[in-house]
Each structure stands twice: as structure tokens, then as C-alpha cells.
Chains A and B, each alone.
Chain A
Amino acid sequence: MTTNTESNHSHDARLPEHTPRLNMAELVPDAYKAMIRFATAAKKGVDPVIFELVQIRASQINHCAFCVDMHTKDALAAGESVERIVQLSAWEESKHFYTAKEIAAIELTEAVTVLTDGFVPDAVWERAAKEFDEKELAHLVAAITLINGWNRISVTTRMVPGHYTPGSTAHRPAN
């Protein structure tokens, strides 16, 4: 963050930042670069507005602070509204903020993200299939899978949120 003016609360009272557990880009560069190539492939074919909504919602469910920070900032920079971002965690009660297509994508995101509760229900899949063709669906599944991957890496290595600037690739390794 570059400014303290968004809040009246004193930053002095805030708890200190944690430090990351380890640096994946340094330790397993091949795997990290392969993830980035997968990211490029997955992102292709998904509407950029839907892409960011999906990335934010999955990151909320997986409690990934770094990813929430990054995708919220990228969404805002791309013109997304604060309202639609804040309402994402309660989208079922705020459907009128979103298109039918966006809701179908968000619903699919939740099902694919919370596999531990079991399966991707037919009803959810079919609602998505009404809004997206087979190729779009596959890219959507890939985009959801992708953010679930980054969520796991960032939560486990405890990447520090708050320093991301929109569009930045500073957190990535050099190619």
C-alpha cells in the first residue's frame, strides 16, 4: 500500500507483518515457471471480468490473503467496482449485482473449490453449461483449478499480503 489515508485508524497500532516461510520461486524454479505457463494457458479463453471474480471468490474460500490482495487490486485496476468485490462473499443474496453468466461461474467456482464436501453437483454444472459452451467451460474449470493452485502455494508458504501493485510480476521469478 502506498497510502495511509484510507483509514482514520493509526497504523502504529497494527500488528507486525509475518515473514514468508519459504521462497518457491527460488527453491523449485522449474515447477514455479511451469505453473506460470499453465496460468497463461488457463487464462486464455476466460472473460477477464469473470476471471478476476472467480480468482477472488476462490481465494476468499481458501483464505488466501496474498491472493485476495492481488486479485482485488487487479480487478479494481481493470475497472471492477468495490461493491461487486465486497458482495462476492455473499453473492447468493446479492445476485442482482451480477449477470446470470457471472453467477453461474461463481457457483461453479465454489463447487470446484470445496471438493472436500463432495463432488461438483449436476445442478451447478448444468447451470454453468447453459451459460458457457464446452470450450469456455473447460477454460473456466482451468481458471478455477489455477487459482486453487496459487492459493495452496501462497497459503502454505505464507506469502505476505499488502505489497502487491496491480499488474506487477515482482513476486514472480525471472524467466
Chain B
Amino acid sequence: MSSSKRGAKVSLDVMQGLMAAGQAASKGLDVRLKHLLEIRASQINHCAYCIDMHIKDAKLAGETDERIYFLNAWEEAASHYSEKEQAALALTEAITVLTDGFVPDEVYERAAKHFDERELGQLISTITLINAWNRINVSIRNPPTYKPGEHA
């Protein structure tokens, strides 16, 4: 499989639109939590560029190596994450894997115990946006060569 970037000229207003949506989505959300969710969704969606970017930015924001590499198995490494983070991770997985069907009530209610309605709205938007970037970067096969802080 070729790993070079594919030819697709993403127009500036599409990119700017998505960036503006991303900024609005996560405004006020804890930055370390944001990166945890973004890394986890990018793992599920197999987006190398996005994994690279959000791991580098997470470390820049003071995240530990352990909490990053356990993300792939966070349910078995639950002691490394707060209840709140775990609820957000479970919600991230449900919203990311819609193809298996729905966002279960228990997952949603678990999140609703830790986040108020406005925070839930931000979480849902943030998870939606990383899913969008995953799709763009996987489709155009953007190579994982992110410089820390480049888009932070």
C-alpha cells in the first residue's frame, strides 16, 4: 500500500470551516481530556496523522506517557483515569462506532452524571469534530509528520 499523500485539493473554506467548528466545539473543555478523547477516536478510526498530532499535543499539555499508551485498553487500566474521564471515553467510543448501532442509554447516562448539559454538548461536538478530521486525513492519507503545537 502506498503511503504517500493522495491528490485531493481540499478547499480553504472547507478547512477553515472545520477548524472554526473545532475551536467552537472544545472552547472551555479541559485540554487534557480533549486530547484523550481525540487520541482514542483516532485510534478507533485508524487515523495515523491524528494519533500523531494529538499524542504530541497531549504531551505538550503535560499528559503522561502511561495515560497515553493505556488509552487503547483504558477499561483495563481504569485506575489511571478519573471516573469523569472514563465516562467521556465510553461516550467517545459509542459516538465513534455508530456503525454498530446507537449511543446506548447507559453510556449516555454515565456521561450525564459527570457533565452538565452544556459540557455534554461540548463533548459531543468535540467527538464529532475529531471524527471529521479522522475522515479527511485518512481519505487524503495525510502523512503523520506533525510538529508539537502546530495546530494546538
Contact = CB atoms under 8 A, between A and B. Distances in A.
B121 A22 contact: yes
B108 A129 contact: no
B2 to A, nearest CB: 7
A31 B121 contact: yes
Nearest to B126: A31
A116 B121 contact: no
Interface stretch (B9-17, B62-70, B81-89): B9-17
A144 B7 CA distance: 17
B136 A122 contact: no
Contacts of A31: 21, 24-25, 27, 121-122, 125
Interface string B110-145: 000000011011101101110110111011110000
Given A22-B120, A149-B132, A114 B18 contact: no
Interface stretch (A32-40, A76-84, A88-96, A97-105): A32-40
A27 B132 contact: no
Nearest to B100: A116
Nearest to B96: A116
A42 B17 contact: yes
> Interface centre among A24, A137, A146, A156, by most B CB within 10 Å?
A156
Interface in A15-35: 21-22, 24, 27-28, 30-35
Q: Place the interface of chain A in its size category.
A: 35 or more
Interface stretch (B31-39, B42-50, B51-59, B72-80): B42-50
Interface string B95-112: 111110111000010000
Interface stretch (A3-11, A47-55, A60-68, A165-173): A60-68
A129 B140 CA distance: 12
Given A24-B121, A44-B11, A152-B127, 5 more contacts: A27-B117, A37-B17, A44-B13, A115-B138, A138-B11
A135 B11 contact: yes
A22 B140 contact: no
B103 A116 contact: no
B14 A115 contact: no
Contacts of A64: 98
A41 B125 contact: no
Nearest to B21: A34
Contacts of A129: 6-7
A30 B27 contact: yes
Given A112-B135, A148-B132, A148-B135, A141 B10 contact: yes
A44 B13 CA distance: 10
